[in-house]
Amino acid sequence: MLTSIYLIAITAEAMSGALAAGRRNMDLFGVAVIAFVTALGGGSVRDVLLGNFPVTWTQNPHYIYLTVSGGLLAVALARFMHRLRDLFLVLDALGLVAFTIIGCNVAMQLGYDVPIVIISGITTGIVGGILRDVLCNRTPLVFRQELYATVSLLVAMCYLYLLNYQVSADTALLASFSLGLLSRMSAIRWGLCLPLFRYSPARWD
């Protein structure tokens, strides 16, 4: 189940990358690259930081085709995207949760401690979106949107907590997905967000 959700997730992430590229009027090659980086960049940064070589997608070229196709699909569907908005938000939330859990699993298999496992999950969940925004020259949305990165943290903690108490893997997955989707959707629905830190000194650095 996690694998099929993962495939949906990288496609949805690739599409979000393509739309961001379109806002910068990039050419189709740029769209494909941003789609690829948005979908697979988080996992790549995780693999590199954890010393987990070879990096996942280099062993599985299908991921490359999938993300590039997802990017070009977004170009084709661009004029209908406003109607697909709700579907897209659900897929994006699914993706965030799936990426987070996969990131936790990878770090656990490598034998890292709990704090690193959590950071591995969050990295996999949000770094793709950060790279997308950096490449499109805008301040990363994940630090400002309704509970985006926070959902990733919640999911990672819930998942590890349940596994720690010998809950079966399937139950832990199901509970984490429910928590993730519910909190993200509630946050969007009611505009929940963490407190913002506003700092604008008269003169400083």
Provide the binding-site residues for its own copies, judged by CB under 8 A. 16, 18-31, 33-34, 44, 48-51, 53-55, 58, 61, 64-65, 75, 78, 81-82, 85, 112-116, 119, 130, 134-144, 149-150, 153, 193-202, 204-205
Residue 114's contacts (CB-CB under 8 Å, 6 or more residues apart) are 160
CB of 156 to its own copies, least distance (A): 13
Which residue shows structure tokens 């992430």?
Answer: 13
Distance separating the N- and C-terminal Cα atoms of the chain: 49
CB of 71 to its own copies, least distance (A): 9
Pair 88, 12: CB distance under 8 Å: yes
CB of 158 to its own copies, least distance (A): 16
Pair 5, 98: CB distance under 8 Å: yes
Query: Nearer to its own copies by C-beta: 34 or 173?
Result: 34
Query: Nearer to its own copies by C-beta: 1 or 193?
Result: 193
CB of 170 to its own copies, least distance (A): 29
Query: Nearer to its own copies by C-beta: 34 or 97?
Result: 34
Using CA atoms, how far apart are residues 150 and 1, in angstroms rounded to an integer? Answer: 24
Residue 85's contacts (CB-CB under 8 Å, 6 or more residues apart) are none
CB of 131 to its own copies, least distance (A): 10
Question: Which token pair is 190?
Answer: 């009611």
